[in-house]
Amino acid sequence: MGDSELDRYRLFRSVADLLMRAADCQVTLLLMDDLHWADSESVQLLKYLLSAEQAQRLLVIGTFCASGVGVDSPFGDVLASLHREPGVARVDLKGLGDDELLWLLEALAGHEMDADGVALRNALIAETDGNPFFVRELLRHLRDTGAIGHDDQAGGRWVAMTDVLSAGLPVSIREVVTRRSRWLGSEAHAVLSTAAVIGRTFEVSVLSMVLSAEASRVVELCEQAAAADLLHEVDVGERFQFAHALIERTLYDELSARHRAHLHHEIAEAIESIHGEGRVGELAYHWAQATRPKDTTRAVRSARAAGDLALQRLRTHRGAAMVQRCARPAR
């Protein structure tokens, strides 16, 4: 053992002894936050503490963001080995549920939420999927921009002053999403940016055609993004969905208007090539967003077809409801 390794061992042993003595006197909690950013020495210390003989009244809690643990991360090297240590458990944290987010809004507002408050809760859930960081930052941004606030005419209740989704995204969220996406590499970031133009849920076949890339490579990159909690796999190897609507919006807004229009055109062409003109709703949207003069006719035609289809479905639904009502036995 070299001098540097011996010095490190002595340091680790000293830290462990200090914690053991503290735990002998009283219940002791050691919290190590943001381990995905930890350097190699800190990670090795954590591994030593968890593998060493510990006092019964010492609890070690480490938090980390799964999307921040890459192949080159020091913490990633020891994460798998920690599962084999006795007494070590991994707890995956989920987003806030409907009731939890409503309680948070009521605690911040100081009163019970009415129908408008519930609508705000629903909009936040749709945008953030209950992610506590996104919820907190988005609420702070909405208050700072005046999108929500206390209305004296409504008895000081917290109300939405404007459409909350029109207030844009706070810089903090944009920075986090962009950093996480670019951390995967330029190729994966380009795939995610293009997918964001397709929509919250997208097909690999359409995405790979727009990118002129092999579907297997696109799936591989999407799976990397899923491992980083940016995407969820909907159908194995066929469809993926952004983990949060905010991720899709951030990546979409990052593109220039000209680039977005070009991608909308390419996406519409890919959908027509793969599915024909059956996806009239999607085609109407993408052709309309392409905004090029030569696309106007196709946008109008798709929009008219989408409207006709909606009316046909409405008539069918009403007819089915009438049949069901007539078939219901009299009381």
> Would you state the pLDDT for residue 328?
44
> Would you state the pLDDT for residue 329?
42
Q: Which CATH class is domain 172-312?
A: mainly alpha
> Would you state the pLDDT for residue 318?
57
CA distance 262 to 281: 19
Top-confidence range, 44-48, 165-169, 252-256: 252-256
> Would you state the pLDDT for residue 189?
94
pTM of the model: 0.62
CA distance 207 to 197: 10
> Would you state the pLDDT for residue 179?
82
CA distance 265 to 268: 5
pLDDT band at 128 (very low <50, low <70, confident <90, very high): confident
Q: Phi and psi of 241, rounded to 5°?
A: -135, 140
| Dihedral in degrees, nearest 10, Cα atoms 41, 46, 47, 51 | 140
State the pairing for strand pair 239-242/201-203: antiparallel
Q: Give 101-124 pLDDT, tens digit per residue.
A: 889 888 887 888 888 788 888 888
Return the higher-pLDDT residue of 131 and 260: 260
Alpha helices by DSSP H, listed for the chain, are 3-25, 40-51, 74-82, 98-109, 115-128, 132-144, 171-183, 186-198, 204-211, 215-227, 245-254, 257-275, 280-290, 296-327
Cβ-Cβ contacts under 8 Å for 73 (sequence gap 6 or more): 36
Q: Give 31-55 pLDDT, tens digit per residue.
A: 888 887 788 888 888 888 877 666 5
Show me where the domains of the chain are located.
3-82, 98-168, 172-312
Cα 150–chain centre separation: 29
What 3-state DSSP class applies to 238?
coil
CA distance 101 to 128: 11
> Would you state the pLDDT for residue 210?
96
> Would you state the pLDDT for residue 326?
43
| Across 51-55, 58-62, 258-262, 264-268, least confident range | 51-55
> Would you state the pLDDT for residue 312?
66
Alpha helices by DSSP H, listed for 110-256, are 115-128, 132-144, 171-183, 186-198, 204-211, 215-227, 245-254
Task: Indicate the length of the chain as a whole number.
Answer: 331
Tokens representing 243 are: 């983990």
Q: Nearest Cα to 229, choosing from 57, 70, 24, 109?
A: 70
